[in-house]
């Protein structure tokens, strides 16, 4: 009887010929324990579709090329999840890559879970920002917040610093957890990685943290979705994702575990803060109206959750009392950007 693959890697690709090989090659280290789904999201400007087919031909049984009409990053992730046959599911963007030594350690650990019949819903690793402009790197570690090398629940989770939110880069979900959560990401929408991490969290009962620097995340290119000016240009999509997160759960009531509810509240507050600050940085009256509407609609949707977040530190700093205070908010954001090097 053939064992199912330990892990499925989904690699969303859209006109990615310049960097997708580096990404896929880094995943091939996992060998036959991995399934690599190369999801060509309607690429038409370069050789992405042909490269995907090439890897499928070279590595049958490991790589699979999936071609679809353009649906955006979220739909590529959905397609990967629908087709995944691995016990665990990891999204690796085509311009990023995984550290090979760390990946081998992760694969061994996942195999150990299976061999010993230990159910772990989410495995967490560190990730590394690789800054393009100054060729420096910055590691986001969870060593101070999470128990190392043992299975634990939410009651054992410690305090997260502002730069330590669990992101798509840092998590590997058990595939059944994602499916049980009903996760479906919206099409043609950026910033859905926040939904990918946030929505399944209440379905996670057990976790395991490995203090290894697994995910390497390129940052600093002018065309990246997290570039400040790009985010402002796509602010309606950021607001859309923000509202989907607000509507996903009524906190803390919908989440029984108090520690998890507290963490999710902080995560949502961070997203609301980022959305608000981008609207402020834009400096337009139209976006000031959108800022007021965001918080007004939040209050109407869930007054209790609104109060928790609006009058917490992130809600206060992202809602200046007048235009005179907006430059202070922007300076504070840019200072935090320099300290934590998040984009």
Q: What is the pLDDT of residues 154-175, one digit of tens each?
A: 999 999 988 899 999 999 999 9
Report pLDDT for 223. 62
Q: What are phi and psi of 166, to 5 degrees?
A: -70, 120
Can you give the pTM of this predicted structure? 0.94
Half-sphere exposure of 35 (CA within 13 A, CB side): 23
The CATH number of the structural domain formed by 7-219 is 3.90.550.10
Give the pLDDT confidence of 170-219 residue by residue, as tens digits.
999 999 999 999 999 999 999 999 999 999 999 999 999 999 999 999 87
- The answer, yes or no, to whether residue 1 has pLDDT greater than 60, is no
Average pLDDT of the segment spanning 67-79: 98
Q: What is the pLDDT of residue 202?
A: 98
For the chain, domain boundaries: 7-219, 228-340
Within 10 angstroms of residue 247's Cβ, the number of other Cβ atoms is 12
Q: Centre a 10 Å sphere on the Cβ of residue 127 and count the other Cβ atoms it contains.
A: 24
- Helix ranges (H only) for the chain are 20-27, 48-58, 72-83, 100-115, 175-180, 193-198, 228-233, 235-248, 258-282, 285-301, 303-310, 313-317, 326-340
Q: Which two tokens mark 269?
A: 């507050």
Specify whether the CB–CB gap between 72 and 64 falls below 8 A: no
Identify the band that residue 343 occupies on the pLDDT scale cut at 50, 70 and 90: low
Residue percentage of the chain with pLDDT more than 70? 96
Helix (H, G, I), strand (E, B) or coil at 34: strand
**Residue-level pLDDT at 333:** 83
Q: What is the pLDDT of residues 76-120, one digit of tens each?
A: 999 999 999 999 999 999 999 999 999 999 999 999 999 999 999
Look up tokens 């984009």; give the residue.
Answer: 343
């Amino acid at each position: 009887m053939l064992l199912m693959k330990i892990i499925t890697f989904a690699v969303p690709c859209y006109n990615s010929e310049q960097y997708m090989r580096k990404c896929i090659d880094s995943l091939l280290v996992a060998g036959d324990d991995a399934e690599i789904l190369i999801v060509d999201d309607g690429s038409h400007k370069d050789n992405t579709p042909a490269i995907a087919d090439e890897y499928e031909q070279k590595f049958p049984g490991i790589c699979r090329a999936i071609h679809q009409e353009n649906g955006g990053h979220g739909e590529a992730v959905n397609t990967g999840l629908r087709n995944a046959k691995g016990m665990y599911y990891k999204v690796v963007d085509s311009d990023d890559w995984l550290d090979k030594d760390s990946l081998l350690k992760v694969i061994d650990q996942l195999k150990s879970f299976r061999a010993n019949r230990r159910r772990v819903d989410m495995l967490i690793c560190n990730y590394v920002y690789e800054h393009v402009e100054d060729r420096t790197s910055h590691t986001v570690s969870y060593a101070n917040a999470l128990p190392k090398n043992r299975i634990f629940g939410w009651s054992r989770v410690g305090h997260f610093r502002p730069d330590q939110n669990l992101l798509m880069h840092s998590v590997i979900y058990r595939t059944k957890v994602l499916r049980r959560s009903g996760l479906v990401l919206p099409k043609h929408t950026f910033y859905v990685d926040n939904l990918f991490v946030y929505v399944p969290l209440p379905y996670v009962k057990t976790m395991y943290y490995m203090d290894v620097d697994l995910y390497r995340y390129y940052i600093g290119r002018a065309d990246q979705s997290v570039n400040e000016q790009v985010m402002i240009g796509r602010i309606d999509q950021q607001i859309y994702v923000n509202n989907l997160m607000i509507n996903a759960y009524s906190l803390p009531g919908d989440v029984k575990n108090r520690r998890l509810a507290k963490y999710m509240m902080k995560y949502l507050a961070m997203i609301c803060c980022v959305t608000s600050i981008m609207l402020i940085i834009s400096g337009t009256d139209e976006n000031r109206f959108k800022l007021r509407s965001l918080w007004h609609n939040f209050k109407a949707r869930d007054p209790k959750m609104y109060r928790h977040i609006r009058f917490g530190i992130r809600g206060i700093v992202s809602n200046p009392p007048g235009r005179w205070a907006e430059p202070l908010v922007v300076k504070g954001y840019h200072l935090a950007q320099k300290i934590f090097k998040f984009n």
